[in-house]
Amino acid sequence: MAEVDLHLHTTISDGRLTPEQLVHLVARRGLRVVAVSDHDITDGLEAAWNAAEEYPQLTILPGVELSTDIPGNEIHVLGYCINYRAADFQAALKRFRDSRVGRAQGMVERLRALGMPVDWERVQQIAGEGAIGRPHIARAMLERGYISRLSEAFDNYIGRNGVAYVEREKQSPEEAIQLIIKAGGVPVLAHPAHLNNISETIDELKAAGLEGMEVFYAEYSHTMIEHLKGIALQNDLLPCGGSDYHANDTPREPIPGDNGPPLWVADRVMEIALERGGVLR
Ligand code: AMP
Ligand code: FE
Ligand code: FE
Ligand code: ZN
């Protein structure tokens, strides 16, 4: 069991537990430091902190996960301890979320053309108030019986190479890193195992200001984690990580606390943020 989990989602983006439910779960699991890292939105933080008041041993760091593109692949960048109240940072998140809506509509349109109509209203209902994403479309497809598992939606239809896939508005990882740094946050490369030229990519992102990379990613094998640990050490990057929990309740879904970085990593993240104008709350 880990004491730290720096990668968690809630109903505010594509997770299935509310911030409150997530906080009760991580507290029950004995976690000491966690980050709520929803996609393109920070609106779940307040509720999470309120729920955490009954758990004085638990620290919740502000986080966010930004989606970016490189040729032929997608890179997610996590940002921790951002001064999320900064108006220009929130304006950027709002832009990303607005572009998610048009993109999701585009995918729903393509599915209709492929003979798999899902109601746009239903997708919006599943997504709720926060950031809409492909998992919400996948759940609507599941309800309609077009697929039997969430991952099938990604494998066959709305994954990067799927027939109903629509690209997002392009953003480079360097831009995302800059945005996070400008708001006082600590940028960390999410789940890097899918990258083809990991060393090259890390060189570039490190030059742009990257401070860490996910190593203790709960879904990764022991061998992969050891491999990534070596890369982080070599590049002087903080070995971060967590469960990337969405509460999908799929068979092998990692649970918060299954794996995560040691406490010193979370301490260092907080230290770096405080040196550059970030916030812990
Ligand atoms: P989006 O934010 O709309 O680009 O959708 C990306 C999200 O879809 C990720 O954050 C995951 O939560 C989810 N996702 C990606 N691939 C899969 C998959 N194979 N099975 C289930 N969920 C996935
Ligand atoms: Fe997600
Ligand atoms: Fe991600
Ligand atoms: Zn995530």
For residues 172 and 159, is the Cβ–Cβ distance under 8 A? no
What are the tens digits of pLDDT across the range 151-199? 999 999 999 999 999 998 899 999 999 999 999 999 999 999 999 999 9
Which of 137, 154, 170 most suits a substitution to test ligand 1, by most atoms within 8 Å of the C-beta? 154
Would you state the pLDDT for residue 191? 98
Which of 38, 74, 103, 134 most suits a substitution to test ligand 1, by most atoms within 8 Å of the C-beta? 134
Would you state the pLDDT for residue 148? 97
* Mean pLDDT within 4-17: 98
**116 C-alpha to ligand 2 centroid (Å):** 23
Among the listed residues 84, 62, 83, the one whose alpha carbon sits nearest the alpha carbon of residue 10: 62
CA distances from 280 to 92, 204, 212 (A): 20, 28, 18
For residues 277 and 83, is the Cβ–Cβ distance under 8 A? yes
For residues 204 and 176, is the Cβ–Cβ distance under 8 A? no
Share above pLDDT 70 across residues of the chain, in percent, rounded to a whole number: 100
What are the tens digits of pLDDT across the range 65-115? 999 999 889 999 999 999 999 999 999 999 999 999 999 999 999 999 999
Would you state the pLDDT for residue 72? 87
**Nearest C-alpha to atom 6 of ligand 1 is from which residue?**
134
Q: pLDDT confidence of 13, banded at 50, 70, 90?
A: very high
**Nearest C-alpha to atom 5 of ligand 1 is from which residue?**
134
| Helix segments in the chain, DSSP class H | 19-28, 45-51, 87-113, 120-127, 134-143, 150-153, 173-182, 198-208, 222-234, 263-275
What are the tens digits of pLDDT across the range 23-77? 999 999 999 999 999 999 999 999 999 999 999 999 999 999 999 999 889 999 9
**271 C-alpha to ligand 1 centroid (Å):** 31
**144 C-alpha to ligand 3 centroid (Å):** 26
Instruction: Say how far apart CA 181 and CA 187 lie, in whole Å.
Output: 7
**195 C-alpha to ligand 1 centroid (Å):** 16
From the alpha carbon of 134, which atom of ligand 1 is closest? Answer: 3
**Nearest C-alpha to atom 15 of ligand 1 is from which residue?**
154
Q: Indicate which ligand has the atom closest to the C-alpha of 248.
A: 1
Report pTM.
0.98
Q: Which residues surround ligand 1 with Cβ inside 6 Å? A: 14, 39, 67, 133-135, 150-151, 154, 246
What are the tens digits of pLDDT across the range 220-273? 999 999 999 999 999 999 999 999 999 999 999 999 999 999 999 999 999 999
